[in-house]
Amino acid sequence: MIPVKGYTTFQPLKHCIVGSVHDPESVTDDLKDIMHTTAEDLDNLVATLESFGVSCYRPETKDAKKRPPVSPRDYFVAIGNNLIVGKLINGYKDILGKIEKKNIKWFLDSDISSGNMIRCGNHIHWDISQDVKLQAENTILEWLEDNGYRTTVTRHGWHMDGVYSILKPGVIVATKDLSNLEQIYPGWDICYLENNKKQKSVDHAWSGNSEESNYDVNILSVNEENCIMTEPNKTLFNFLEKNKINPVICKFRNKEFWDNGVHCFTQDLYREGEMEDYFK
């Protein structure tokens, strides 16, 4: 069985979902190269994670007419010893079947995921979209309180992992979009990255809006000493060196098409460690 545990974005990662794409021969000609290069890049990410001792699980791809399960970050979040399921889509049945039923909590159609819920010990920042019904919101907030969490709520309707990443206690990489970030994390060392790259606009049903995305902040921490990103950034590298964090590059040639950074292509299932208070 696959174990589940998650209290932060930076404690040592041991079990992780990595997205999958369709066989290039099963899609139309305009998508063949995208599937081929994305598959190569995802396989490279798996190899990199495995080199750090991380066990990786891949969703199944079935219907080539539908967007492949390339973005597991959008549907799940590991909180404590529970995997919260916010949406149920094709491809993840076998993975969920390998997790103890008692460790799965179903909050379907609540838009809850580790894309919009940032975990930091006993504190959770949840950015709640307008698609979340009030009853579901109250049920989840009550569940979090009952399980010992202090929750900060914002209502921008964003994927917060595209706005900031916590790489270790007291260390954050961020865009300048969230004006109250310094109030949520008072006194923390925050590196604000400018988005100087003009992203390619992609017109396809499977694509997102990448024009304003900054993939440099969409980072996957393996542990407090190592993190994975899609490309070099001098300002970020200097910040990481100052905080004794090693950057590992895993290129994604089609990140603009999928509107995903490396964090989006993954979903952590188990990180070592216990609940701590990082705000003392």
pLDDT of residue 89: 86
- All residue ranges of the chain with pLDDT < 50 are none
Q: Measured in whole angstroms, how far is the alpha carbon of residue 113 from the centre of its chain?
A: 8
User: What pLDDT was estimated at residue 200?
Assistant: 67
Please report the pLDDT score of residue 62 as a whole number: 87
Q: What is the CATH number of domain 13-271?
A: 3.75.10.10
Instruction: For residue 62, give the 3-state DSSP assignment.
Output: coil
Q: What is the pLDDT of residues 114-125, one digit of tens each?
A: 999 999 999 999
User: Whole-structure pTM over 0.85, yes or no?
Assistant: yes
Tokens of 163: 């706005």
Q: What is the pLDDT of residue 267?
A: 98
Q: For residue range 162-179, list pLDDT tens digits in order.
A: 999 999 999 999 999 999
User: Which pLDDT does position 196 carry in this prediction?
Assistant: 67
Long-range contacts of 235-241 (CB under 8 A, 24+ apart): 235/191, 235/193, 235/194, 236/173, 236/191, 236/193, 239/173, 239/191, 240/167
